[in-house]
Chain A
């Protein structure tokens, strides 16, 4: 199914490159987020593994052999995004280093086999396996069907790409310029081989590998490479380096809180009900409001609401601290600390959930 150069028109190749590049971009972003710094060695070695598995001759019923792509196993172990990248890299090396598959058609090959293949395999596997036990026969069956359907979906796409060529690209005499067969010839011609040999090879290798992993390493079947997401402590430290950089401005802001003590006047709009009665504060309000005098009486709404809630640090100065400036500083630092604590809770809870998922 590796389409060589010359079978597809440049505009078809460009369109499929654009689709593949968008998928790679999204996948790369997701994978970096999921695996942090582990992504590069994991995807690279998995791509090398996929490349070698593509060379295996898979014995089929009837005595023949066929080659598999390994896309279902990649999607089951790495998740669709990781699988898409690993299979694409394997295909790129086949094209660029071994000359298997074209360069102008690399986008098409990757889109058919790596992008669509991975998503179809993952969706079929998840649908059939549902919540079945990691060691159940249902998962083996799901893997076989996922491999079979994925390879046939990719072949169908390739057939459609071939089939539209004579319709869109022909010369004045009617000679097709690229792949010569229309859809009604290209689709059956492509599908016969894939519905039988290639699909079967993919089903055999997918089912066989899942059955082996159920015994040897069930952790790999948990999906989306959950085995790799619990990166070692050192990696976590590296990953959170950028988060750490965020703490610098927070610390700086905390150190700057004394500036608030130096500020004169009143913060516009942050008045309490009592401020309206105090002549000194009334003058400050008027100064801050372009000499517009505040109303003589406390506005009714403000008066009603002001009794609803009394902050733990009223007016930023706890009762037991007599010096207002010291109280202000303490309040500021306490406030920042409280917010930091609040922001850490969701992170801790999500980590706990992740650990729980990994245990099951």
Chain B
């Protein structure tokens, strides 16, 4: 019964976090700090992202099919691990950025509390990752992957990567996934405003500035890179 109660409680917490985060953080600030539950949310996002990373990595494996045995496994493992660790780093770095900006507003409260509350804000990212994964299942099989025959010339590899990223299905998927990421990032941002407000004891205005400043910069950068141009390492 306790597991069922916990599950019901968690679902209720999630619904509350998505619909009335201000009230929820107002209650949680009174409780003890705990990173276990936020880490769970972040980990779920990381696992879904790892699945997506595996699919994207399979494209790269096909591109380097002539590299010999073992190359596809290396690419798959690095894609999965990279996607998972990337989400964790995003959580840590994002929290640190919010923490640092809130210092300008003389915010109080520890980093762990900031990390905890920001972790709750990753709940919308779970849905966002799922939608992105569904879109990847839809789009990625349509991508025509170029095969790299020569591994001596870096220009050939760069050219192949550029061909992959300029594939029409790949470009469509990139745009769709970017818009989805932005939508759910804004949803997370709306939660993070309340999170940082209580975690750092800020006014709603200062909390909004603390969150929206880096988020808007990130969104502008993402939109620019997605719709105005795409760059691969080394340029093209």
A binds B: no
